[in-house]
């Protein structure tokens, strides 16, 4: 049977700077979902990449004394390195300077022109360079600054090509109405609906005052507006324009429409108004869902590369390990809302959930297996009354986890896994294997307790794996099992009793050694 396809994307990040906690946040979240969907039998295609054109990137290149191409070629490996460090399993990495993208983007613009949705006009208005966004006078914020980021805007006056965005207002509103899941969470959906209801203006889609961009095929003295160029990446990456025609072709074509675009809330309008209108104009189906997550805040402020208050992902990975890094951001910040992050709270989370609950469970249990059972998994027991609670939680975990992941509630999904982990810790306390080991009559019960707890750990590791792939793989390895990353039927793998008796259990180092230092 053919596996259902599941295409998910992150934004393509600007290469004006190196990856930081914010860009890593979106990418880790997308990776956790990609891993989970692979474990639940989907044919996943996970795309991330780089937005390499535009004035902002050209300016960064100039400030660094390089040509734009040399500059993007210098920065791109830093993103690849960061995603490797964070164990990101993207299936593709698109750069908008690649021929496959440039050709596809040009095809796309040609279609819009042929269909009558592009026209020549004159633009006069304001432009925010850091956000690469046009604003009209009445949209500007306090002291005539950018309403989005509060920074200075520049006056732009050029002859441009325009996209007839205004013609799509009613169709967009009808689409939101008919597809209530298209924009998530609901607060964002409402925000977009009220924005679109307020009226859409046609959008300038070309620039002539600089050259770092894709030339319009029908007017090569114009380069494509960087946002127009960037959004098209989601289809060029899966074969749009691949055979030189404005259609999908090639082995990846079946992935469109995407199941998910993951974006930060700063770029929701581009993804929920401009992009769907572009697709409607080109006669291409729309993605299923756009999910906008909140901002990571440090000391109450949005952390970003330009405000410079970013701790690097690499420094945190060095200190906490990659799995703990991924866990902290997925567990401590509710996906979809803003959340404060700090090294202090990371230390707390780490010690409470990872060192105490999960790490401690694995190490004491594997030690007891060694001590009381010679390091061998005992026979599968007939469950006693005292075991029922664990069996019940384990049996409910696939559905509980799935339900939460359907709404991208990572914190809730992890909490569901933690219910099993915490209950198993309590089960060990209550059953006191160290007492059962004292007499021959309780030998059977001792083995039953060890088996039940080991099996519970095996199952918990499965549900922890999308967020913490390395330690889950290690737990399975120590249990003498195969590679957890090969699991493609999670529900079947999580059926109670999967741990074979006689399997050799290895003790190993602490998975999450306690961190004692102060935060700073």
CA distance 481 to 475: 9
Any contact of residue 25 with ligand ME8 (CB under 6 A)?
yes
Residue 205: phi and psi, rounded to 5, are -120, 15
* Residue 207 CA: distances (Å) to CA of 91, 227, 267: 33, 12, 21
Give the residue nearest to ligand ME8 (CB).
22
CA distance 105 to 287: 17
Contact 23, 13 (CB under 8 A): yes
Burial class for 413, CB neighbours closer than 10 Å (0-12, 13-18, 19+) = buried
Interface residue with ligand ME8 among 52, 266, 332, 474 (CB under 6 A) is 266
Contact 73, 52 (CB under 8 A): no
Interface residue with ligand ME8 among 230, 242, 279, 394 (CB under 6 A) is 230
Q: For ligand ME8, which is the closer residue by CB, 231 or 420?
A: 231
Burial class for 8, CB neighbours closer than 10 Å (0-12, 13-18, 19+) = buried
Any contact of residue 103 with ligand ME8 (CB under 6 A)?
no
CA distance 102 to 392: 54
Q: Total number of residues binding ligand ME8 (CB under 6 A)?
A: 21
Considering the complex, what minimum distance in angstroms separates the CB of residue 258 from ligand ME8? 12
Q: For ligand ME8, which is the closer residue by CB, 326 or 458?
A: 326
Q: For ligand ME8, which is the closer residue by CB, 90 or 472?
A: 90
In the block, which residue shows the tokens 């509710």? 334
Please list, in sequence order, all residues whose beta carbon lies within 8 angstroms of the beta carbon of residue 469, skipping any fewer than 6 positions away.
Answer: 35, 87, 323, 484, 485
Interface residue with ligand ME8 among 164, 179, 254, 302 (CB under 6 A) is 302
Query: Among residue numbers 43 through 62, which ones bind ligand ME8 (CB under 6 A)?
Result: 51
Any contact of residue 303 with ligand ME8 (CB under 6 A)?
yes
Query: Among residue numbers 198 through 227, which ones bind ligand ME8 (CB under 6 A)?
Result: none
Q: For ligand ME8, which is the closer residue by CB, 185 or 433?
A: 185
Q: For ligand ME8, which is the closer residue by CB, 233 or 431?
A: 233
Any contact of residue 267 with ligand ME8 (CB under 6 A)?
yes
Interface residue with ligand ME8 among 7, 8, 12, 105 (CB under 6 A) is 12
Interface residue with ligand ME8 among 14, 123, 240, 291 (CB under 6 A) is 14
Interface residue with ligand ME8 among 123, 260, 295, 335 (CB under 6 A) is 295
Please list, in sequence order, all residues whose beta carbon lies within 8 angstroms of the beta carbon of residue 494, skipping any fewer than 6 positions away.
Answer: 394, 397, 398, 459, 462, 463
Contact 362, 375 (CB under 8 A): no
Q: For ligand ME8, which is the closer residue by CB, 25 or 512?
A: 25
Range in contact with ligand ME8 (rule: CB under 6 A) among 264-272, 443-451, 468-476, 496-504: 264-272
Any contact of residue 23 with ligand ME8 (CB under 6 A)?
yes
Any contact of residue 427 with ligand ME8 (CB under 6 A)?
no
* Residue 220 CA: distances (Å) to CA of 208, 404, 494: 10, 48, 57
SS3 for 62-93 is HHCCCCHHHHHHHHHHHHHHHHHHCCCCCCEE
Considering the complex, what minimum distance in angstroms separates the CB of residue 96 from ligand ME8? 9
Q: Say which DSSP state 272 is in.
A: I
Contact 230, 258 (CB under 8 A): no
Any contact of residue 241 with ligand ME8 (CB under 6 A)?
no
Interface residue with ligand ME8 among 104, 185, 264, 433 (CB under 6 A) is 264
Considering the complex, what minimum distance in angstroms separates the CB of residue 78 from ligand ME8? 13
Interface residue with ligand ME8 among 5, 22, 52, 134 (CB under 6 A) is 22
CA distance 357 to 16: 41
Interface residue with ligand ME8 among 6, 13, 163, 372 (CB under 6 A) is 13
* Residue 193 CA: distances (Å) to CA of 11, 130, 228, 402: 22, 25, 21, 29
Range in contact with ligand ME8 (rule: CB under 6 A) among 176-184, 213-221, 230-238, 480-488: 230-238
Interface residue with ligand ME8 among 231, 368, 462, 479 (CB under 6 A) is 231
Considering the complex, what minimum distance in angstroms separates the CB of residue 267 from ligand ME8? 5
CA distance 228 to 245: 19
Any contact of residue 313 with ligand ME8 (CB under 6 A)?
no
Q: In the complex, which residues of this chain contact ligand ME8 (CB under 6 A)?
A: 11-14, 22-23, 25-26, 51, 230-231, 233, 263-264, 266-267, 295-296, 302-304
């Amino acid at each position: 049977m053919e596996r259902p396809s599941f295409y998910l994307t992150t934004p393509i990040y600007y290469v004006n700077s190196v990856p930081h906690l914010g860009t890593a946040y979106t990418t880790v979240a997308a990776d956790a979902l990609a891993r989970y969907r692979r474990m639940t039998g989907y044919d996943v295609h996970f795309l991330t990449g780089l937005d390499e054109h535009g004035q902002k990137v050209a300016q960064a290149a100039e400030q660094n004394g390089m040509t734009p191409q040399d500059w993007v070629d210098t920065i791109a490996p830093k993103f690849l390195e960061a995603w490797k460090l964070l164990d990101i399993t993207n299936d593709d990495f698109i750069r908008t300077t690649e021929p496959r993208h440039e050709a596809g983007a040009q095809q796309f613009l040609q279609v819009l022109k042929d269909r009558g949705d592009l026209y020549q006009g004159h633009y006069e208005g304001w432009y925010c360079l850091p956000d690469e966004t046009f604003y009209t006078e009445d949209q500007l914020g306090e002291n005539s600054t950018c309403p989005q980021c509060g920074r200075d805007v520049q006056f732009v006056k050029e002859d441009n090509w325009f996209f007839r965005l205004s013609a799509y207002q009613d169709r967009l509103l009808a689409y939101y109405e008919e597809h209530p899941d298209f924009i998530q969470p609901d607060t964002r959906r409402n925000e977009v609906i009220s924005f679109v209801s307020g009226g859409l203006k046609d959008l300038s889609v070309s620039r002539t005052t600089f050259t770092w961009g894709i030339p319009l095929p029908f007017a090569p003295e114009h380069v494509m507006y960087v946002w127009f160029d960037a959004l098209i990446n989601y289809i060029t990456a899966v074969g749009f324009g691949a055979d030189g025609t404005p259609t999908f072709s090639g082995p990846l074509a079946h992935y469109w429409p995407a199941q998910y675009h993951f974006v930060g809330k700063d770029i929701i309008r581009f993804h929920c108004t401009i992009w769907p209108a572009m697709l409607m104009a080109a006669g291409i189906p729309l993605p299923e869902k756009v999910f906008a997550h909140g901002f990571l805040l440090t000391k109450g402020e949005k952390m970003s590369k330009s405000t410079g208050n970013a701790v690097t992902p690499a420094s945190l990975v060095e200190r906490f390990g990659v799995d703990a890094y991924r866990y902290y951001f997925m567990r401590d910040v509710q996906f979809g809302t803003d959340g404060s992050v700090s090294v202090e709270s990371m230390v707390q989370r780490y010690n409470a959930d990872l060192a105490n609950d999960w790490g401690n469970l694995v190490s004491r249990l594997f030690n007891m297996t060694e001590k009381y059972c010679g390091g061998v998994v005992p026979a599968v027991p007939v469950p006693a009354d005292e075991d029922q609670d664990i069996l019940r939680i384990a049996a409910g975990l696939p559905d509980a986890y799935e339900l939460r992941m359907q709404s991208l509630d990572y914190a809730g999904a992890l909490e569901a896994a933690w219910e099993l982990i915490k209950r198993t810790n309590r089960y060990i306390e209550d059953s006191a294997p160290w007492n059962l080991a004292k007499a021959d009559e309780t030998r059977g019960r001792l083995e039953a307790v060890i088996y039940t707890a080991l099996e519970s750990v095996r199952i918990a590791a499965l549900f922890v794996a999308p967020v913490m792939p390395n330690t889950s793989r290690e737990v399975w390895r120590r249990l003498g099992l195969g590679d957890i990353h090969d699991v493609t039927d999670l529900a079947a793998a999580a059926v109670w009793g999967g741990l074979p008796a006689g399997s050799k259990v290895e003790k190993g180092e602490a998975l999450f050694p306690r961190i004692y230092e102060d935060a700073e």
